[in-house]
Amino acid sequence: MLELRNCPVCDTIKEVCRVVHIRKDDKLYACPTCGVLFASPQYEPSELKHIYNKEFYNDDVTLHKGTTALGGAPDPTATETIRKALIKRYPALAAPGIKILDYGCGLGQFLATFKKYGADCLGIELSGVAAASARQRFGLNVIEGDEETLEELPDGEFQLIS
């Protein structure tokens, strides 16, 4: 694991950031300068790949806690509520054809909800199992990749990035 010394967005020193939550392996910090929440220490990319492929999703796309991941359908309560809240705050997101990027899209429920209303959706997911499931279940365009995959995308392409 990698101990962060500064905010990963604006480089504010970690000591002035407020601890907002303590977890088993890390702490979540709130940066007073830019408002981002970040964890420290953070997993190395190779550690994350292992966690997502072996400890979070397994080969039959069930969560390792033994629960099948939403049975292949978007959760209407959660994803519809999020969509409506976003549109209330940003009405332009209701327009058909808006471009959405979901980095860490998981099984694709968030993107599937927007796609249902005509959005042009792209997902990036570290877990190959989850990415394949999102493509198969919802017909989504999902790339298996990490944060370096973001560098390959054109600037200014998306109206919403989550």
- pLDDT tens digits for the chain (162 residues)? 889 999 999 999 999 999 999 988 899 999 999 999 999 998 887 788 777 776 667 665 554 444 444 444 445 678 899 999 999 999 999 999 999 999 999 899 999 999 999 999 999 998 888 899 999 999 999 999 988 899 999 999 999 999
Q: Which two tokens stand for residue 141?
A: 């365009």
CB 95 within 8 A of CB 87: no
Distance CA 125, CA 32 (A): 29
Longest dimension (CA), the chain: 45
Instruction: Give first-to-last CA distance, the chain, whole Å.
Output: 25
Nearest to 150 by CA among 122, 112, 109, 113: 122
